[in-house]
Amino acid sequence: MTDRLNQLRKLHELDPADPFCTYGIALEHAKAQRNEEALTWLDKTLALDASYFYAYYQKGSILAEMGQHAQAQAVLKYGIAEARKVTGGEARHAADEMTTLLDSIE
């Protein structure tokens, strides 16, 4: 386990309701190609904050990488729809990134 992952886990123990920590843990698992673990932590992130739009992007990306294209597309379409409900540059940017990823999935 990486030092960063250990640090994030400690932070998560202090505040299990912080989606930043769960998202960071997910990304560390994804970097190590532990996709199932990454997906679990992305789901935890979205359970804590359904507006954490980059979690949809990462989840869709991992599912596509795993060959689960229909699931990836469904996640991305949902994330795009949710992001478009929010006004603001970050949500718009996330929707654009998810749309680009969605367009690249067969």
DSSP structure string for the chain: --HHHHHHHHHHHH-TT-HHHHHHHHHHHHHTT-HHHHHHHHHHHHHH-TT-HHHHHHHHHHHHHTT-HHHHHHHHHHHHHHHHTS-SHHHHHHHHHHHHHHHH--
Residue 88: pLDDT band with limits 50, 70, 90: confident
Look at 33-37, 55-59, 86-90, 91-95 and tell me which has the smallest mean pLDDT.
Answer: 86-90
The mean pLDDT of 78-102, rounded to a whole number, is: 93
How much is the pTM?
A: 0.92
Q: Which of 67, 91, 68 lies closest to 80, judged by CA?
A: 91
For 77, residues 6+ apart whose C-beta sits below 8 A from its C-beta are: 102
- pLDDT tens column, 20-79: 999 999 999 999 999 999 999 999 999 999 999 999 999 999 999 999 999 999 999 999
